[in-house]
Structure 1
Amino acid sequence: MKIGIIGLGLIGGSLGIDLRSPSANGVQSQGHYIIGISRQKYTCKLALEKGIADRVDTSFEALSDAEIIIVCTPMGAIASTVKQVIPYINPDTIITDVGSVKYPIVQSCSQLWSNFIGGHPMAGTSSSGIEAAIPSLFTNAAYVFTPSEQNKLEDVEKLKAIALQLNAIPYICDAKIHDRAVSWISHLPVMVSASLIKACLQEKPDTLKLAQILASSGFKDTSRVGGGNPELGVMMAKYNREELLRSLYSYRDNLDGIISLIEEENWQDLSGILTSNGEARPKFLN
Protein backbone atom coordinates (compact mmCIF):
# COMPACT_ATOMS: atom_id res chain seq x y z
CA MET A 1 0.00 0.00 0.00
CA LYS A 2 1.23 3.53 -0.79
CA ILE A 3 1.01 5.75 2.29
CA GLY A 4 1.76 9.45 2.28
CA ILE A 5 3.00 11.15 5.43
CA ILE A 6 2.86 14.94 5.53
CA GLY A 7 5.12 16.31 8.25
CA LEU A 8 8.17 14.28 9.17
CA GLY A 9 8.71 15.18 12.81
CA LEU A 10 8.58 12.86 15.82
CA ILE A 11 5.19 11.32 15.01
CA GLY A 12 5.36 11.38 11.22
CA GLY A 13 8.94 10.14 11.18
CA SER A 14 8.23 7.34 13.66
CA LEU A 15 5.20 6.26 11.63
CA GLY A 16 7.37 6.04 8.52
CA ILE A 17 10.08 4.01 10.24
CA ASP A 18 7.65 1.35 11.48
CA LEU A 19 5.37 1.16 8.46
CA ARG A 20 8.25 0.46 6.09
CA SER A 21 10.49 -1.37 8.58
CA PRO A 22 12.33 -4.26 6.87
CA SER A 23 12.21 -7.71 8.41
CA ALA A 24 15.25 -9.86 9.12
CA ASN A 25 15.32 -11.31 5.59
CA GLY A 26 15.28 -7.85 4.03
CA VAL A 27 11.65 -7.98 2.85
CA GLN A 28 9.47 -5.07 3.95
CA SER A 29 7.44 -6.51 6.80
CA GLN A 30 4.46 -4.20 6.35
CA GLY A 31 4.57 -4.03 2.57
CA HIS A 32 4.03 -0.27 2.52
CA TYR A 33 5.65 2.24 0.24
CA ILE A 34 6.06 5.48 2.20
CA ILE A 35 5.98 8.88 0.52
CA GLY A 36 7.22 11.58 2.87
CA ILE A 37 6.39 15.25 2.43
CA SER A 38 8.25 18.10 4.11
CA ARG A 39 8.72 21.76 3.27
CA GLN A 40 12.38 21.49 4.23
CA LYS A 41 14.85 19.88 1.82
CA TYR A 42 17.14 19.03 4.72
CA THR A 43 14.31 17.10 6.40
CA CYS A 44 13.66 15.23 3.16
CA LYS A 45 17.32 14.26 2.95
CA LEU A 46 17.36 13.10 6.56
CA ALA A 47 14.15 11.09 6.05
CA LEU A 48 15.85 9.00 3.37
CA GLU A 49 18.96 8.52 5.48
CA LYS A 50 16.95 7.39 8.53
CA GLY A 51 14.80 4.99 6.50
CA ILE A 52 11.63 6.93 7.19
CA ALA A 53 10.39 7.02 3.59
CA ASP A 54 10.98 5.39 0.22
CA ARG A 55 10.44 8.69 -1.54
CA VAL A 56 10.45 12.26 -0.25
CA ASP A 57 9.32 15.51 -1.80
CA THR A 58 8.42 19.08 -0.96
CA SER A 59 5.36 19.05 -3.23
CA PHE A 60 1.93 17.48 -2.64
CA GLU A 61 1.98 16.31 -6.27
CA ALA A 62 4.02 13.33 -5.08
CA LEU A 63 0.90 12.04 -3.31
CA SER A 64 -1.15 11.58 -6.48
CA ASP A 65 -1.30 7.79 -6.12
CA ALA A 66 -1.28 7.52 -2.32
CA GLU A 67 -4.05 5.32 -0.92
CA ILE A 68 -3.80 6.73 2.61
CA ILE A 69 -2.44 10.11 3.67
CA ILE A 70 -1.53 10.82 7.29
CA VAL A 71 -1.30 14.52 8.13
CA CYS A 72 1.28 14.98 10.89
CA THR A 73 1.48 18.77 10.95
CA PRO A 74 0.72 20.93 14.00
CA MET A 75 -3.02 21.08 14.72
CA GLY A 76 -3.38 24.62 13.43
CA ALA A 77 -2.19 23.54 9.98
CA ILE A 78 -4.18 20.31 9.54
CA ALA A 79 -7.27 21.75 7.81
CA SER A 80 -5.26 24.01 5.50
CA THR A 81 -2.99 21.08 4.61
CA VAL A 82 -5.99 18.91 3.71
CA LYS A 83 -7.35 21.71 1.53
CA GLN A 84 -4.02 22.10 -0.28
CA VAL A 85 -3.53 18.39 -0.94
CA ILE A 86 -7.03 17.72 -2.37
CA PRO A 87 -6.29 18.87 -5.96
CA TYR A 88 -3.55 16.24 -6.30
CA ILE A 89 -5.23 13.06 -4.99
CA ASN A 90 -7.85 10.62 -6.26
CA PRO A 91 -11.42 10.51 -4.86
CA ASP A 92 -10.90 7.25 -2.94
CA THR A 93 -7.86 8.39 -0.96
CA ILE A 94 -8.28 8.20 2.81
CA ILE A 95 -6.97 11.18 4.75
CA THR A 96 -6.36 10.99 8.48
CA ASP A 97 -4.43 13.06 11.00
CA VAL A 98 -2.62 12.66 14.33
CA GLY A 99 -3.90 15.73 16.21
CA SER A 100 -4.62 15.42 19.92
CA VAL A 101 -7.97 17.24 19.56
CA LYS A 102 -10.55 15.69 17.30
CA TYR A 103 -13.97 17.37 17.16
CA PRO A 104 -13.02 20.73 15.56
CA ILE A 105 -10.58 19.03 13.19
CA VAL A 106 -13.10 16.39 12.10
CA GLN A 107 -15.78 19.05 11.67
CA SER A 108 -13.66 21.21 9.36
CA CYS A 109 -11.79 18.50 7.45
CA SER A 110 -14.86 16.32 6.81
CA GLN A 111 -16.43 19.24 4.98
CA LEU A 112 -13.35 19.47 2.79
CA TRP A 113 -12.93 15.73 2.15
CA SER A 114 -15.59 13.07 2.67
CA ASN A 115 -12.95 10.38 3.25
CA PHE A 116 -11.38 12.19 6.20
CA ILE A 117 -11.16 10.13 9.41
CA GLY A 118 -9.80 11.70 12.57
CA GLY A 119 -6.91 9.88 14.25
CA HIS A 120 -4.85 10.26 17.41
CA PRO A 121 -1.97 7.95 18.33
CA MET A 122 -1.47 8.31 22.09
CA ALA A 123 2.30 8.23 21.99
CA GLY A 124 5.19 10.66 22.06
CA THR A 125 8.29 11.86 23.85
CA SER A 126 9.50 15.21 25.17
CA SER A 127 11.60 15.63 22.01
CA SER A 128 10.45 16.91 18.63
CA GLY A 129 11.60 17.05 15.03
CA ILE A 130 12.77 14.38 12.62
CA GLU A 131 15.86 13.72 14.72
CA ALA A 132 13.55 12.47 17.50
CA ALA A 133 11.83 9.86 15.28
CA ILE A 134 12.33 6.36 16.64
CA PRO A 135 11.12 2.81 15.90
CA SER A 136 8.42 1.15 18.03
CA LEU A 137 7.10 4.47 19.38
CA PHE A 138 3.51 3.24 19.11
CA THR A 139 3.95 -0.24 20.58
CA ASN A 140 1.16 -0.92 23.11
CA ALA A 141 -0.11 2.65 22.76
CA ALA A 142 -3.76 3.47 22.15
CA TYR A 143 -4.50 4.69 18.62
CA VAL A 144 -7.89 6.42 18.53
CA PHE A 145 -10.00 6.94 15.40
CA THR A 146 -13.07 9.18 15.36
CA PRO A 147 -14.99 8.48 12.15
CA SER A 148 -18.07 10.45 11.17
CA GLU A 149 -21.33 9.08 9.77
CA GLN A 150 -20.19 9.73 6.20
CA ASN A 151 -17.13 7.47 6.48
CA LYS A 152 -17.09 3.96 5.01
CA LEU A 153 -16.63 1.03 7.35
CA GLU A 154 -13.97 -0.48 5.08
CA ASP A 155 -11.93 2.74 5.30
CA VAL A 156 -12.06 2.66 9.08
CA GLU A 157 -10.94 -0.98 9.00
CA LYS A 158 -7.94 -0.04 6.83
CA LEU A 159 -6.81 2.47 9.44
CA LYS A 160 -7.35 -0.01 12.26
CA ALA A 161 -5.13 -2.44 10.35
CA ILE A 162 -2.43 0.23 10.12
CA ALA A 163 -2.61 0.74 13.89
CA LEU A 164 -2.30 -2.99 14.50
CA GLN A 165 0.75 -3.15 12.22
CA LEU A 166 2.31 -0.50 14.46
CA ASN A 167 1.62 -2.81 17.42
CA ALA A 168 -0.74 -0.13 18.73
CA ILE A 169 -4.22 -0.74 20.15
CA PRO A 170 -6.96 0.80 17.95
CA TYR A 171 -10.05 2.38 19.53
CA ILE A 172 -13.10 3.83 17.80
CA CYS A 173 -15.03 6.59 19.55
CA ASP A 174 -17.01 9.79 19.10
CA ALA A 175 -14.86 12.89 18.55
CA LYS A 176 -16.52 14.87 21.36
CA ILE A 177 -16.08 12.05 23.87
CA HIS A 178 -12.44 11.75 22.83
CA ASP A 179 -11.84 15.45 23.47
CA ARG A 180 -13.45 15.32 26.91
CA ALA A 181 -11.41 12.26 27.89
CA VAL A 182 -8.06 13.66 26.73
CA SER A 183 -8.76 16.94 28.48
CA TRP A 184 -8.41 14.95 31.72
CA ILE A 185 -5.54 12.61 30.98
CA SER A 186 -3.44 14.68 28.57
CA HIS A 187 -4.31 18.36 28.35
CA LEU A 188 -5.08 19.09 32.02
CA PRO A 189 -1.78 17.51 33.18
CA VAL A 190 0.14 19.83 30.85
CA MET A 191 -1.49 22.91 32.39
CA VAL A 192 -1.16 21.64 35.96
CA SER A 193 2.48 20.74 35.37
CA ALA A 194 3.17 24.15 33.81
CA SER A 195 1.54 25.83 36.83
CA LEU A 196 3.77 23.83 39.17
CA ILE A 197 6.94 24.99 37.41
CA LYS A 198 5.73 28.59 37.29
CA ALA A 199 4.84 28.58 41.00
CA CYS A 200 8.27 27.18 41.92
CA LEU A 201 10.01 29.89 39.91
CA GLN A 202 8.26 32.54 42.02
CA GLU A 203 10.06 31.40 45.18
CA LYS A 204 12.89 33.41 46.78
CA PRO A 205 16.26 32.82 45.05
CA ASP A 206 17.89 30.87 47.89
CA THR A 207 14.91 28.55 48.32
CA LEU A 208 14.56 28.12 44.55
CA LYS A 209 18.23 27.23 44.18
CA LEU A 210 18.01 24.56 46.88
CA ALA A 211 14.77 23.20 45.40
CA GLN A 212 16.47 22.84 42.02
CA ILE A 213 19.34 20.94 43.64
CA LEU A 214 17.06 18.62 45.62
CA ALA A 215 14.49 17.95 42.87
CA SER A 216 14.36 14.26 42.00
CA SER A 217 11.90 11.73 40.61
CA GLY A 218 8.74 13.22 42.15
CA PHE A 219 9.28 16.65 40.63
CA LYS A 220 10.70 15.16 37.44
CA ASP A 221 7.60 13.02 36.86
CA THR A 222 5.13 15.76 37.80
CA SER A 223 6.78 18.55 35.81
CA ARG A 224 7.73 16.66 32.64
CA VAL A 225 4.73 17.48 30.45
CA GLY A 226 4.65 21.11 31.61
CA GLY A 227 8.15 21.68 30.30
CA GLY A 228 7.50 20.28 26.84
CA ASN A 229 6.66 21.77 23.44
CA PRO A 230 4.97 25.17 24.12
CA GLU A 231 3.35 25.25 20.67
CA LEU A 232 1.62 21.95 21.37
CA GLY A 233 0.40 23.18 24.75
CA VAL A 234 -1.13 26.30 23.21
CA MET A 235 -2.80 24.24 20.49
CA MET A 236 -4.33 21.93 23.13
CA ALA A 237 -5.79 24.94 24.93
CA LYS A 238 -6.96 26.64 21.74
CA TYR A 239 -8.62 23.68 20.04
CA ASN A 240 -9.95 21.94 23.15
CA ARG A 241 -10.73 25.11 25.10
CA GLU A 242 -14.23 24.21 26.33
CA GLU A 243 -13.33 20.74 27.61
CA LEU A 244 -9.99 21.87 29.06
CA LEU A 245 -11.66 24.68 31.00
CA ARG A 246 -14.26 22.22 32.28
CA SER A 247 -11.57 19.90 33.63
CA LEU A 248 -9.51 22.80 35.02
CA TYR A 249 -12.50 24.16 36.95
CA SER A 250 -13.17 20.74 38.42
CA TYR A 251 -9.51 20.28 39.29
CA ARG A 252 -9.46 23.70 40.97
CA ASP A 253 -12.51 22.77 43.07
CA ASN A 254 -10.82 19.56 44.23
CA LEU A 255 -7.57 21.40 44.99
CA ASP A 256 -9.52 23.95 47.04
CA GLY A 257 -11.07 21.04 48.94
CA ILE A 258 -7.66 19.62 49.81
CA ILE A 259 -6.43 23.08 50.88
CA SER A 260 -9.42 23.36 53.21
CA LEU A 261 -8.69 19.96 54.79
CA ILE A 262 -5.09 20.98 55.48
CA GLU A 263 -6.15 24.36 56.88
CA GLU A 264 -8.61 22.58 59.18
CA GLU A 265 -6.02 19.91 60.07
CA ASN A 266 -8.56 17.28 59.02
CA TRP A 267 -6.02 14.52 58.55
CA GLN A 268 -8.61 11.73 58.57
CA ASP A 269 -10.50 13.01 55.53
CA LEU A 270 -7.23 13.87 53.76
CA SER A 271 -6.01 10.33 54.39
CA GLY A 272 -9.28 8.99 52.96
CA ILE A 273 -8.81 10.96 49.74
CA LEU A 274 -5.19 9.87 49.34
CA THR A 275 -6.13 6.25 50.03
CA SER A 276 -8.96 6.16 47.49
CA ASN A 277 -6.75 7.90 44.93
CA GLY A 278 -4.05 5.29 45.44
CA GLU A 279 -6.59 2.55 44.78
CA ALA A 280 -7.98 4.31 41.67
CA ARG A 281 -4.68 5.24 40.00
CA PRO A 282 -3.84 1.79 38.54
CA LYS A 283 -7.04 1.95 36.48
CA PHE A 284 -5.54 4.84 34.51
CA LEU A 285 -2.30 3.01 33.73
CA ASN A 286 -2.01 0.72 30.72
Structure 2
Amino acid sequence: MNIGIVGLGLIGGSLGLDLRTLGHRVLGVSRQVQTCERAIVRGAVDEASVDLRLMQQAEVVFLCTPLGVMEATVKDLVPHLAATTVLTDVGSVKGWVMRTIAPHWSNFVGGHPMAGTAESGIEAAKPNLFVNCPYVLTPTAETPAVAVQQVEALIRPLRVRLVHCQPEEHDQAVAWISHLPVMISASLLAACQNESDSKVLNLAKALASSGFRDTSRVGGGNPELGMMMAQYNTEALVRSLHAYRDTLAQFISQIEQQDWEALHTTLLQTQQFRPTFIKD
Protein backbone atom coordinates (compact mmCIF):
# COMPACT_ATOMS: atom_id res chain seq x y z
CA MET A 1 0.00 0.00 0.00
CA ASN A 2 1.13 3.57 -0.65
CA ILE A 3 1.25 5.39 2.68
CA GLY A 4 1.71 9.14 3.00
CA ILE A 5 3.27 10.85 6.01
CA VAL A 6 3.06 14.63 6.30
CA GLY A 7 5.51 15.75 8.97
CA LEU A 8 8.74 13.77 9.30
CA GLY A 9 9.58 14.22 12.96
CA LEU A 10 9.85 11.65 15.74
CA ILE A 11 6.37 10.17 15.25
CA GLY A 12 6.16 10.49 11.47
CA GLY A 13 9.68 9.14 10.99
CA SER A 14 9.10 6.24 13.36
CA LEU A 15 5.84 5.35 11.60
CA GLY A 16 7.70 5.38 8.30
CA LEU A 17 10.44 3.06 9.57
CA ASP A 18 7.90 0.51 10.81
CA LEU A 19 5.52 0.72 7.85
CA ARG A 20 8.36 0.24 5.35
CA THR A 21 9.53 -2.80 7.32
CA LEU A 22 6.03 -4.20 6.88
CA GLY A 23 6.33 -3.83 3.10
CA HIS A 24 4.44 -0.60 2.48
CA ARG A 25 5.71 2.13 0.18
CA VAL A 26 6.05 5.28 2.26
CA LEU A 27 5.90 8.80 0.82
CA GLY A 28 6.93 11.67 3.07
CA VAL A 29 6.46 15.42 3.04
CA SER A 30 8.36 17.92 5.16
CA ARG A 31 8.80 21.67 5.03
CA GLN A 32 12.59 21.27 5.00
CA VAL A 33 14.55 19.77 2.11
CA GLN A 34 17.22 18.61 4.55
CA THR A 35 14.63 16.69 6.56
CA CYS A 36 13.40 14.98 3.40
CA GLU A 37 16.94 13.95 2.53
CA ARG A 38 17.64 12.62 6.03
CA ALA A 39 14.36 10.69 6.07
CA ILE A 40 15.39 8.88 2.88
CA VAL A 41 18.88 8.17 4.18
CA ARG A 42 17.53 6.86 7.46
CA GLY A 43 15.07 4.56 5.68
CA ALA A 44 11.94 6.22 7.03
CA VAL A 45 10.53 6.88 3.54
CA ASP A 46 10.92 5.63 0.00
CA GLU A 47 10.43 9.09 -1.43
CA ALA A 48 10.18 12.55 0.13
CA SER A 49 9.37 16.07 -1.00
CA VAL A 50 8.45 19.51 0.24
CA ASP A 51 5.56 19.43 -2.25
CA LEU A 52 2.21 18.09 -0.99
CA ARG A 53 1.38 16.89 -4.51
CA LEU A 54 3.40 13.78 -3.64
CA MET A 55 0.36 12.72 -1.55
CA GLN A 56 -1.67 12.19 -4.74
CA GLN A 57 -0.30 8.63 -4.76
CA ALA A 58 -1.21 7.84 -1.15
CA GLU A 59 -4.09 5.60 -0.10
CA VAL A 60 -3.77 6.50 3.58
CA VAL A 61 -2.11 9.69 4.86
CA PHE A 62 -0.83 10.16 8.41
CA LEU A 63 -0.88 13.81 9.43
CA CYS A 64 2.08 14.21 11.81
CA THR A 65 2.44 17.98 11.98
CA PRO A 66 2.25 20.06 15.17
CA LEU A 67 -1.29 21.04 16.13
CA GLY A 68 -0.50 24.69 15.50
CA VAL A 69 -0.04 24.20 11.76
CA MET A 70 -2.38 21.25 11.26
CA GLU A 71 -5.42 23.10 9.93
CA ALA A 72 -3.42 25.17 7.45
CA THR A 73 -1.63 22.00 6.31
CA VAL A 74 -4.89 20.13 5.78
CA LYS A 75 -6.36 22.98 3.74
CA ASP A 76 -3.30 22.83 1.47
CA LEU A 77 -3.32 19.03 1.42
CA VAL A 78 -6.90 18.05 0.56
CA PRO A 79 -6.84 19.31 -3.07
CA HIS A 80 -4.15 16.70 -3.73
CA LEU A 81 -5.94 13.70 -2.19
CA ALA A 82 -7.89 11.09 -4.11
CA ALA A 83 -11.56 10.89 -3.08
CA THR A 84 -11.03 7.50 -1.44
CA THR A 85 -7.90 8.45 0.50
CA VAL A 86 -8.13 8.03 4.27
CA LEU A 87 -6.62 10.82 6.36
CA THR A 88 -5.65 10.29 9.99
CA ASP A 89 -3.68 12.34 12.50
CA VAL A 90 -1.41 11.70 15.48
CA GLY A 91 -2.29 14.79 17.56
CA SER A 92 -2.31 14.61 21.35
CA VAL A 93 -5.62 16.51 21.62
CA LYS A 94 -8.64 15.00 19.95
CA GLY A 95 -11.61 17.24 20.73
CA TRP A 96 -10.08 20.18 18.87
CA VAL A 97 -8.93 17.94 16.02
CA MET A 98 -12.36 16.38 15.50
CA ARG A 99 -14.06 19.80 15.62
CA THR A 100 -11.54 21.64 13.44
CA ILE A 101 -9.76 19.16 11.18
CA ALA A 102 -12.30 16.40 10.54
CA PRO A 103 -14.81 18.66 8.71
CA HIS A 104 -12.20 19.27 5.99
CA TRP A 105 -12.18 15.61 4.88
CA SER A 106 -14.98 13.02 5.02
CA ASN A 107 -12.60 10.04 5.36
CA PHE A 108 -10.89 11.40 8.48
CA VAL A 109 -10.03 9.23 11.48
CA GLY A 110 -8.75 10.87 14.65
CA GLY A 111 -5.73 9.09 16.13
CA HIS A 112 -3.14 9.42 18.87
CA PRO A 113 -0.19 7.02 19.30
CA MET A 114 0.85 7.43 22.93
CA ALA A 115 4.56 6.92 22.49
CA GLY A 116 7.54 9.19 22.28
CA THR A 117 10.85 10.30 23.70
CA ALA A 118 12.30 13.56 25.00
CA GLU A 119 13.99 14.05 21.61
CA SER A 120 12.34 15.39 18.48
CA GLY A 121 12.95 15.52 14.74
CA ILE A 122 13.78 12.92 12.13
CA GLU A 123 17.04 11.96 13.85
CA ALA A 124 15.02 10.88 16.90
CA ALA A 125 12.87 8.46 14.87
CA LYS A 126 13.38 4.82 15.72
CA PRO A 127 11.83 1.46 14.83
CA ASN A 128 9.38 -0.28 17.18
CA LEU A 129 8.59 2.96 18.99
CA PHE A 130 4.91 2.02 19.28
CA VAL A 131 5.23 -1.59 20.49
CA ASN A 132 2.94 -2.23 23.49
CA CYS A 133 1.94 1.44 23.59
CA PRO A 134 -1.67 2.63 23.43
CA TYR A 135 -2.80 3.86 20.04
CA VAL A 136 -6.07 5.74 20.45
CA LEU A 137 -8.67 6.15 17.70
CA THR A 138 -11.57 8.56 18.24
CA PRO A 139 -14.16 7.89 15.55
CA THR A 140 -17.46 9.76 15.81
CA ALA A 141 -20.88 8.99 14.35
CA GLU A 142 -19.78 10.76 11.15
CA THR A 143 -16.58 8.72 10.70
CA PRO A 144 -16.92 6.10 7.93
CA ALA A 145 -16.48 2.60 9.37
CA VAL A 146 -14.40 1.51 6.38
CA ALA A 147 -11.92 4.33 7.06
CA VAL A 148 -11.55 3.24 10.68
CA GLN A 149 -11.01 -0.36 9.60
CA GLN A 150 -8.32 0.69 7.13
CA VAL A 151 -6.39 2.62 9.79
CA GLU A 152 -6.74 -0.27 12.23
CA ALA A 153 -5.38 -2.69 9.66
CA LEU A 154 -2.28 -0.51 9.26
CA ILE A 155 -1.50 0.08 12.93
CA ARG A 156 -2.28 -3.35 14.40
CA PRO A 157 0.91 -4.90 12.92
CA LEU A 158 2.87 -2.22 14.81
CA ARG A 159 1.93 -4.25 17.93
CA VAL A 160 0.12 -1.38 19.56
CA ARG A 161 -2.63 -1.57 22.18
CA LEU A 162 -5.59 -0.29 20.17
CA VAL A 163 -8.06 1.85 22.14
CA HIS A 164 -11.32 3.44 20.98
CA CYS A 165 -12.93 6.33 22.86
CA GLN A 166 -14.78 9.58 22.37
CA PRO A 167 -12.63 12.67 21.68
CA GLU A 168 -13.68 14.48 24.87
CA GLU A 169 -13.03 11.39 27.00
CA HIS A 170 -9.57 11.12 25.47
CA ASP A 171 -8.74 14.73 26.29
CA GLN A 172 -9.86 14.42 29.90
CA ALA A 173 -7.89 11.21 30.36
CA VAL A 174 -4.65 12.47 28.78
CA ALA A 175 -4.90 15.65 30.83
CA TRP A 176 -4.31 13.44 33.88
CA ILE A 177 -1.64 11.07 32.59
CA SER A 178 0.20 13.16 29.98
CA HIS A 179 -0.50 16.88 30.02
CA LEU A 180 -0.64 17.41 33.80
CA PRO A 181 2.65 15.48 34.34
CA VAL A 182 4.39 17.76 31.84
CA MET A 183 3.25 20.84 33.76
CA ILE A 184 4.15 19.32 37.14
CA SER A 185 7.55 18.27 35.88
CA ALA A 186 8.20 21.67 34.34
CA SER A 187 7.11 23.43 37.54
CA LEU A 188 9.55 21.26 39.50
CA LEU A 189 12.40 22.43 37.29
CA ALA A 190 11.20 26.03 37.52
CA ALA A 191 11.07 25.81 41.33
CA CYS A 192 14.61 24.40 41.49
CA GLN A 193 15.78 27.16 39.18
CA ASN A 194 14.47 29.70 41.71
CA GLU A 195 16.83 28.51 44.46
CA SER A 196 18.66 31.71 45.44
CA ASP A 197 21.65 30.05 47.11
CA SER A 198 24.00 29.13 44.25
CA LYS A 199 26.00 26.80 46.50
CA VAL A 200 22.89 24.80 47.36
CA LEU A 201 21.74 24.78 43.73
CA ASN A 202 25.12 23.50 42.50
CA LEU A 203 25.13 20.81 45.18
CA ALA A 204 21.61 19.75 44.17
CA LYS A 205 22.78 19.45 40.56
CA ALA A 206 25.73 17.32 41.66
CA LEU A 207 23.51 15.03 43.74
CA ALA A 208 20.65 14.65 41.23
CA SER A 209 20.16 11.04 40.22
CA SER A 210 17.47 8.64 39.03
CA GLY A 211 14.59 10.05 41.08
CA PHE A 212 15.08 13.58 39.79
CA ARG A 213 15.82 12.32 36.28
CA ASP A 214 12.56 10.36 36.13
CA THR A 215 10.47 13.13 37.69
CA SER A 216 11.89 15.93 35.55
CA ARG A 217 12.11 14.11 32.20
CA VAL A 218 8.85 15.23 30.58
CA GLY A 219 9.24 18.77 31.90
CA GLY A 220 12.59 19.01 30.16
CA GLY A 221 11.20 17.99 26.78
CA ASN A 222 10.16 19.96 23.70
CA PRO A 223 8.56 23.26 24.89
CA GLU A 224 6.34 23.38 21.82
CA LEU A 225 4.60 20.17 22.88
CA GLY A 226 3.82 21.58 26.31
CA MET A 227 2.50 24.76 24.75
CA MET A 228 0.19 22.80 22.43
CA MET A 229 -1.13 20.73 25.35
CA ALA A 230 -2.04 23.91 27.20
CA GLN A 231 -3.42 25.76 24.19
CA TYR A 232 -5.53 23.00 22.67
CA ASN A 233 -6.63 21.12 25.81
CA THR A 234 -7.05 24.12 28.07
CA GLU A 235 -10.29 23.18 29.85
CA ALA A 236 -9.27 19.65 30.81
CA LEU A 237 -5.73 20.67 31.74
CA VAL A 238 -6.84 23.56 33.96
CA ARG A 239 -9.33 21.25 35.68
CA SER A 240 -6.58 18.74 36.45
CA LEU A 241 -4.16 21.50 37.56
CA HIS A 242 -6.69 22.85 40.05
CA ALA A 243 -7.25 19.35 41.42
CA TYR A 244 -3.49 18.85 41.70
CA ARG A 245 -3.08 22.20 43.48
CA ASP A 246 -5.74 21.21 46.02
CA THR A 247 -4.04 17.87 46.63
CA LEU A 248 -0.63 19.53 47.00
CA ALA A 249 -2.16 21.89 49.58
CA GLN A 250 -3.27 18.84 51.57
CA PHE A 251 0.30 17.50 51.55
CA ILE A 252 1.65 20.87 52.71
CA SER A 253 -0.90 21.01 55.51
CA GLN A 254 -0.11 17.49 56.74
CA ILE A 255 3.63 18.26 56.82
CA GLU A 256 3.29 21.68 58.41
CA GLN A 257 1.02 20.26 61.11
CA GLN A 258 3.33 17.25 61.49
CA ASP A 259 0.35 14.96 60.99
CA TRP A 260 2.55 11.99 60.21
CA GLU A 261 -0.26 9.47 60.52
CA ALA A 262 -2.33 11.25 57.86
CA LEU A 263 0.73 11.64 55.64
CA HIS A 264 1.58 7.96 55.98
CA THR A 265 -1.99 7.01 55.08
CA THR A 266 -1.85 9.25 51.99
CA LEU A 267 1.49 7.80 50.88
CA LEU A 268 0.22 4.27 51.45
CA GLN A 269 -2.80 5.02 49.27
CA THR A 270 -0.64 6.44 46.48
CA GLN A 271 1.69 3.42 46.69
CA GLN A 272 -1.28 1.09 46.22
CA PHE A 273 -2.84 3.26 43.49
CA ARG A 274 0.18 3.53 41.19
CA PRO A 275 0.15 -0.12 39.96
CA THR A 276 -3.38 0.44 38.60
CA PHE A 277 -1.74 2.81 36.08
CA ILE A 278 1.80 1.49 35.67
CA LYS A 279 2.93 -2.10 36.03
CA ASP A 280 6.70 -2.22 36.51
TM > 0.5 = yes
Residue 40 of structure 1 deviates from its aligned partner by 1.2
Correspondence list, 1:13-162, <5 A: 13-21=13-21, 30-162=22-154
Residue 65 of structure 1 deviates from its aligned partner by 2.5
Q: For the residues of structure 1 that align with 2:78 and 2:145, how far apart are their CA atoms?
A: 22
- In the TM superposition, structure 1's runs of 4+ consecutive aligned residues that sit over 2 Å from their partners are none
Correspondence list, 1:198-277, <5 A: 198-203=190-195, 204-277=197-270
Letter in 2 for 1:17: L
Tell me the residue number matched to 1:193: 185
Q: Give SS of 1:20's match.
A: helix
TM-score (normalizing by structure 1):
0.95
Q: For the residues of structure 2 that align with 1:120 and 1:167, how far apart are their CA atoms?
A: 15
Letter in 2 for 1:216: S
Q: For the residues of structure 2 that align with 1:280 and 1:18, how far apart are their CA atoms?
A: 35
Q: Please list the CA deviations of residues 68-90 of structure 1 after superposition, one character each: whole Å capped at 9, or x if unmatched.
A: 11011111111211111111111
Residue 285 of structure 1 deviates from its aligned partner by 1.3
Tell me the residue number matched to 1:5: 5
Letter in 1 for 2:61: I
Q: Please list the CA deviations of residues 17-73 of structure 1 after superposition, one character each: whole Å capped at 9, or x if unmatched.
A: 00011xxxxxxxx23110011121111111111111111111111111211110111
Letter in 2 for 1:218: G
Q: Could you tell me the percent identity over the aligned residues?
A: 51
Residue 152 of structure 1 deviates from its aligned partner by 1.4
Residue 154 of structure 1 deviates from its aligned partner by 1.9
Question: Structure 1 stretches of 5 or more lacking a match?
Answer: 22-29
Tell me the residue number matched to 2:277: 284
Letter in 1 for 2:212: F
TM-score (normalizing by structure 2):
0.97
User: Are 1:96 and 1:116, in contact at CA under 8 Å, matched by a contact in 2?
Assistant: yes
Q: For the residues of structure 2 that align with 1:170 and 1:83, how far apart are their CA atoms?
A: 29
Q: CA RMSD in A?
A: 0.9
